[in-house]
Structure 1
Amino acid sequence: MIIAVDFDGTLCEEAYPEIGVANKPLIKALIKLKNKGNELILWTCRNGSLLKDAVKWCKQQGLKFDKVNENLTRVLKFYKGVDSRKLSYDILIDDKNINPAELDFVPSNEIIERITGENNEPRIMIPLLGLVSDNGQQYLTLGVDNKFFACSYRPENTRLKQSFTAKELENVPSVFKQFIPAPVFEVERI
């Protein structure tokens, strides 16, 4: 089996361009799968020295890849040497992945909402640059008391709001507005 895996937000917590805290359970599982004969591909947007740092970091965690950002040699032979921009894999592990099989019987308007968030607006997570703690990069977060604060990203924690629509960001206190990416308000709705 060929397993492609993302780096930032998947093998480690999101902290780009730095390397976040290791996702030890996933790394341990991938090492076991590799030892059982499965093939691993690191598939990341990192390049240059940032990619080299990521590969080195993975090796330090005991995780070695068969390929990095490219198809396996046996796959290329199967396709008679033609390499497409898309990787061939059996499983993709990525923090931004959606399994279409989970959406088989969901109406299209609900699919759009799941992908983009409420009201078909893009969702934005805002990393607070320079605020890094022992458990990773800090993000703008809205608590149950409707107060904004910095907190590490925890997708399993449903009590904290950590992604926002452009409309919601209009209410962000001015101290945090410096961290909002400028193009956020120029993104069109789907």
Structure 2
Amino acid sequence: MQAQNGSGMIVKESLLIAIDFDGTIVDDGYPKIGSPKIFAFETMKRLQQDGHRLILWTYRSGRKLEEAVQFCADNGIEFYAVNSSYPEEVFDGKVSRKINADYFIDDRNIGGFIGWGKVYQILTNESPDEKLTKKKGLFSFLKR
């Protein structure tokens, strides 16, 4: 996303993006870990390179959560926070577990999961370069 600063220059805004695991980052295979969704890790890496902070936001807890976090780390993604709004937040049951994020990416949206290519296009207002699309495939813009 872009905005103008006080001097009229275009600057990218850093977004806080909460991302579900099962059915979104990987195919739903709970309690096992499914196969990675096409372009999931490439898109998340690109979003991080663009300066956005990613939160893993999942129903998983305990050992199953640790496995998901490790699976993502093994695929090059370290999250800003996990099931919390910021790294130091401690869930004590006294306040809502609802987290603060600019966007939530989840397969349980109305209409289902739209795919990682479309997610990136919506978040960045970018579309794939036509030359790259014809030569290397629709999602080649993620590999810049």
Bin for the TM-score computed over the shorter chain: 0.5 to 0.7
For 1:41, what is the secondary structure of its paired residue? strand
User: Which of 18, 22, 30 is 2:36 aligned to?
Assistant: 22
Deviations 1:127-182 (A, max 9, x none): xxxxxxxxxxxxxxxxxxxxxxxxxxxx99xxxxxxxxxxxxxxxxxxxxxxxxxx
Distance across 1 between alignment mates of 2:57 and 2:87: 15
1:72 positional shift: 1.7
TM-score (norm 1): 0.46
Which is greater in Rg? 1
In structure 1, what is the equivalent of residue 47 of structure 2? 33
In structure 1, what is the equivalent of residue 77 of structure 2? 63
Preserved contact between residue 5 and residue 40 of structure 1 (Cα < 8 Å): yes
Listed as ranges, the gaps of 5+ residues in structure 1 are 77-81, 99-113, 116-154, 157-190
Greater mean alpha carbon deviation, residues 47-56 or residues 19-28: 19-28
Listed as ranges, the gaps of 5+ residues in structure 2 are 1-14, 116-144
In structure 2, what is the equivalent of residue 164 of structure 1? none
In structure 2, what is the equivalent of residue 85 of structure 1? 97
Distance across 2 between alignment mates of 1:96 and 1:32: 23
Preserved contact between residue 70 and residue 87 of structure 1 (Cα < 8 Å): yes
Distance across 2 between alignment mates of 1:19 and 1:67: 20
TM-score (norm 2): 0.60
Distance across 1 between alignment mates of 2:86 and 2:58: 15
- Amino acid of the residue matched to residue 54 of structure 2? L
Percentage of identical aligned residues: 39
Map 1:76-155 → 2, pairs under 5 A = 84-98=96-110
In structure 1, what is the equivalent of residue 129 of structure 2? none
Q: Choose between structure 1 and 2 for higher RCO, CA contacts under 8 A separated by at least 6 residues.
A: 2
In structure 1, what is the equivalent of residue 12 of structure 2? none
Aligned length: 96
